[in-house]
Amino acid sequence: MRQPIGHKTWAIAEGYIPAWSHGPAPEMTSHETVSILNAGDEDARVRIWVYFEDRAPIGPYELGVAARRTRHFRFNDLEDPEPIPKDTNYSSVIEADQPIVVQHTRIDTRQDANALLSTMAYAELRS
Amino acid sequence: MRQPIGHKTWAIAEGYIPAWSHGPAPEMTSHETVSILNAGDEDARVRIWVYFEDRAPIGPYELGVAARRTRHFRFNDLEDPEPIPKDTNYSSVIEADQPIVVQHTRIDTRQDANALLSTMAYAELRS
Amino acid sequence: MRQPIGHKTWAIAEGYIPAWSHGPAPEMTSHETVSILNAGDEDARVRIWVYFEDRAPIGPYELGVAARRTRHFRFNDLEDPEPIPKDTNYSSVIEADQPIVVQHTRIDTRQDANALLSTMAYAELRS
Amino acid sequence: MRQPIGHKTWAIAEGYIPAWSHGPAPEMTSHETVSILNAGDEDARVRIWVYFEDRAPIGPYELGVAARRTRHFRFNDLEDPEPIPKDTNYSSVIEADQPIVVQHTRIDTRQDANALLSTMAYAELRS
């Protein structure tokens, strides 16, 4: 059996949902995604905290990623405890009770052709 | 002789092949690539597993990267055990019997001008 | 209480502020950002040094990120000790007195549709 | 005095110089860059090897990055021992005699608006 892959604590310093879009929804709606791979044999409970420039962090957003599954969560769709405002700088911390792998992606369709960014999140090696 | 470079287990949490394209094939066809460098002196056997949101993972896709060579594999072109569906979220785990270095890239040409993303994959340091 | 997240020394090798822009300011002004998350319970003092190809580094730019807050600083807006010239290659080193997480982003709007890049910065694990 | 930042061996698995461009040269010429920061107090000698899919690696390209300086080298401009062909997949290994920090960037201007990608390179922690 394969060893678990990843870590339990990850962080994404960049965060920004563009306020407008160009092209058919939902594919071309400007959005940010946190992609979470749980390659292990146990379901993972995931909690996300969102940090802002000028107010206290909000969270946890409580999510689940089943064993041997991936989930690509749009920050745009997070609702509980509250939606994340658009056109606002934020960061996020992702914690799980099982090792996971986390990647951050944005699609920005504010102008005539979309732009993309992506990076592996920061893995806290002590986790 | 140089020490081997890299690790034997890597993961990419993001994965998505856009469903349409704009511009001449094959260069401007929307695609995702896993680029694998084998800088060592032994040929590497590589196995890729692909994880989904709502069904069991598929794989292994069995590939090879010769000693002192690179290969840039398009996920679009993987066929055995089965093609990867377009417009579908996935993740991947890449395992090799030699140390390798892995990077993930997407070109998205759905709109009038292409968009790119790339990131080094997550290296499992225990591997 | 959660352990601190991140490290105290980070580096970004790429740096370049495009010289012109296309679209409404300030959102669509070409810019580079260093996003800094301080998820800890102590305010962080941050110092940035900027390195060039053909002259001595400048800095430190002295900044602050409060406890449990993020700040997304535009390199375009740094002024003390001096503004960073546009259309000029640079790198940066970010040091803090508390653990932080750092990510680098550029938006380039020189042509008809914007382009984006982003990557987690390099974390000096010895810090 | 600050501790040195970085490592001596880095790798970039992705590499591809688009074959054509759109917009004024040299800024908007499609190109790939390896950005190298030498934040230390000793000049660094840097050697780059380039790996291909179907032939032996070429190199070393011998470069220098002075103490406390950065250099952003375009792969397009490397000439000795030979130019890197366009529209060809490659990877690279970067070695230095001092600790450095390495980042990989591409600008692709084949269509009406440019696209960008960037990632920190893979740092071989044993180096």
The answer to whether residue D119 neighbours chain A at the CB level (below 8 Å) is yes
Query: Which of B9, B13, B57 lies nearest to residue A102, judging by beta carbons?
Result: B13
Confidence category of residue C32, pLDDT binned at 50, 70, 90: very high
Is residue C1 scored above 70 in pLDDT? no
**What average pLDDT is seen over chain A?**
93
**Contact between B39 and D51 using a beta-carbon 8 Å cutoff:** yes
Q: Rounded to the nearest 5 degrees, what angle is found at the Cα of C22, between the Cα atoms of C19 and C24? A: 115
Mean pLDDT, chain C, rounded, equals: 93
- Are the beta carbons of C122 and D117 separated by less than 8 Å? no
D113 or A7, higher pLDDT? A7
pTM summary value:
0.96
Contact D111 B109 (CB under 8 A): yes
Give the gap in angstroms from C-alpha C99 to the nearest C-alpha of chain B.
Answer: 21
- Report yes or no for ipTM above 0.90: yes
What count of other Cβ atoms lies within 10 Å of the Cβ of residue B101? 28
| Nearest Cβ partner for C119 among B112, B116, B119 | B119
Q: For residue B112, which residues of chain C lie inside 8 Å, CB to CB?
A: 113
Closest Cα in chain A to C33? A14
State residue D1's pLDDT score: 46
Chains that touch C (3 or more CB pairs under 8 A): A, B, D
Beta bridge partners of residue B93, listed in sequence order: B11, B49
* 52-111 of D, contacting A, C-beta below 8 A: 111
pLDDT tens digits for range C71-110: 999 999 999 999 999 999 999 999 999 999 999 999 888 8
Residue A116 forms contact with B (CB below 8 Å): yes
Q: Reply yes or no on whether the pLDDT at A1 is more than 60.
A: no
Which chain A residues touch D115 with a CB distance below 8 Å?
Answer: 115-116
Do A125 and C5 meet the contact criterion of CB atoms below 8 Å apart? no
Q: Which residues of D touch A111 (CB under 8 A)?
A: 113
Question: Mind telling me how many Å the CA of A56 is from chain D's nearest CA?
Answer: 30
> How much is the pLDDT for A3?
74
CB nearest to C13's CB, from D23, D101, D107: D101
Q: What is the pLDDT of residue B109?
A: 87
Chain A, chain D: beta-carbon pairs less than 8 Å apart: 9
- CB atoms B9 and A5 under 8 Å: yes
Overall average pLDDT of the D11-33 stretch: 90
CA closest to D112 among chain C residues: C112
Which residues, including other chains, have CB under 8 Å from residue D40's CB and lie 6 or more apart?
Answer: D4, D5, D67, D68, D98, D99
For tokens 């511009």, name the residue. Answer: B23
DSSP code, position C25? T
pLDDT, mean of residues A92-104: 97
Q: For A108-122, what is each residue's pLDDT tens digit?
A: 888 877 888 899 999
Q: Once rounded to an integer, what is the mean pLDDT over residues A61-86? A: 97
Judge whether C115 is closer than 8 Å to chain B, CB to CB.
yes
Mean pLDDT calculated for residue range B106-121:
87
Measured from the Cβ of residue C75, the count of other Cβ atoms closer than 10 Å reads: 23
CB-based contacts of A23, cutoff 8 Å, min separation 6: A29, A109, A114, B110, B111
Does B115 reach chain A within 8 Å, measured CB to CB?
Answer: yes
Confidence category of residue A67, pLDDT binned at 50, 70, 90: very high
Q: Using 50, 70 and 90 to split pLDDT, how confident is the model at A2?
A: low
> Average pLDDT in the A28-36 region?
93
CA–CA dist D104, A125 (Å, integer): 24
Q: Which residue of C has its CA nearest to B114?
A: C115
Query: Tell me, what's the pLDDT at C110?
Result: 85
Instruction: Tell whether C13 is within 8 A of chain B (Cβ).
Output: no
Average pLDDT over residues B109-125: 89
Q: What is the per-residue pLDDT across B91-101, written as a single tens digit (0 to 9) for each?
A: 999 999 999 99
* Alpha-carbon separation of residue C51 from B83, C14, D100 (angstroms): 47, 10, 13
Give the Cα separation of D105 and C89 in Å (integer). Answer: 12
Nearest-by-Cβ selection for D119 from A112, A116, A119: A119
Q: Give percent of chain A above pLDDT 70.
A: 98
Q: For residues A25 and A41, give the distance between their C-alpha atoms in angstroms, rounded to a whole number.
A: 35
Q: Given this model, what pLDDT does residue B2 score?
A: 63
Question: D21 pLDDT band (50/70/90 cuts)?
Answer: confident
Average pLDDT over every residue of B57-70: 98
Q: What percent of chain D has pLDDT over 70?
A: 98
- Only one residue has tokens 């003092």, namely C45
Please tell me the predicted confidence (pLDDT) of residue C24: 86
- CB atoms A126 and C23 under 8 Å: no
Chains that touch A (3 or more CB pairs under 8 A): B, C, D
Please list every residue in chain D whose beta carbon sits closer than 8 Å to the beta carbon of residue C52. 69-70
Q: Is the pLDDT of residue D77 over 70?
A: yes
- With cut-offs at 50, 70 and 90, classify the pLDDT of residue C3: confident
The token pair that represents D98 in the structure block: 């001092």
Q: Yes or no: say if A48 and A84 are a contact pair by the CB < 8 Å rule.
A: no
State pLDDT tens for residues B3-60.
789 999 999 999 999 888 888 888 888 899 999 999 999 999 999 999 999 999 999 9
Say yes or no for a CB contact (<8 Å) between A115 and D115: yes
CA distances from B45 to B100, B124, D10 (A): 10, 17, 22
